[in-house]
Amino acid sequence: MNRVAEQKAVVLLSGGLDSATVLAMASEQGYQCYALSLDYGQRHRAELAAASRVAEALGAVKHKVIRLDLAAIGGSALTDAKIDVPEQPVEGIPVTYVPARNTVFLSLALGWAEVLGSGDLFIGVNAVDYSGYPDCRPEYIEAFQRLCQLATRAGVEGGAFKIHAPLIELSKADIIRSGNRMGVDYAVTVSCYTADAEGRACGKCDSCRLRRQGFADAGVPDPTRYR
């Protein structure tokens, strides 16, 4: 039996390529996976339907969707319709960065994990083919893991938390190859920042460019539906 069999894990699931791969990895390691998606006011809400498809396809024990309104503070092209999503690469941190998003998401995942009696959280951040987001770096993951020990009853009473970020040093091509080996159906995922209601991708945003190049580099046919 896998050494982590019967252990619970909370997996942040956006409905995109990376998070689908992470859910498959956690499941392959023997975890009982509790998938968590956030309806945070994102313009690409088609990813939530994709998350539901991915959770079902990969056998999540439960898929929870929590609603919160990050659009109320704005500051990102993903939550403010007045800010255009760039169609060309930009220098520095792009306007698609959502202020404190991963901190908010991991905090909610941490709360659910504590309720479930789980010490394992999975997130699909990537520091190689990422878009310059500060909350996708190894230093950030290490810092949040320390916070887990300090900020929870389970932590101060001797429990141990682990933030699993298995994609953090992989290229997009490596991620796709890993998912392909595990049988992940990337056709049901949505990565595009401006995906339409049917989940069709623009093919121009940063996320689309990274995804398309990843499939090309991996030598795997791209199943993405472009509009």
- pTM here? 0.95
Q: pLDDT tens digit string along 158-197?
A: 999 999 999 999 999 999 999 999 999 999 999 999 999 9
- Please name each of the domains of the chain with its CATH number: 8-218 (3.40.50.620)
Q: pLDDT tens digit string along 88-140?
A: 887 889 999 999 999 999 999 999 999 999 999 999 999 876 668 999 999 99
CA-CA distances (angstroms) from residue 175 to 67, 98, 194?
A: 28, 23, 22
Q: State the chain's mean pLDDT as an integer.
A: 94
Query: Cα(135)–Cα(12) distance, rounded to whole angstroms?
Result: 14
pLDDT for 165 equals 98
CA-CA distances (angstroms) from residue 25 to 95, 122, 143, 170?
A: 30, 9, 23, 13
Q: pLDDT tens digit string along 28-46?
A: 999 999 999 999 999 999 9
Count the neighbouring beta carbons within 10 Å of the beta carbon of residue 74. Answer: 16
Position 4 pLDDT exceeds 80: no
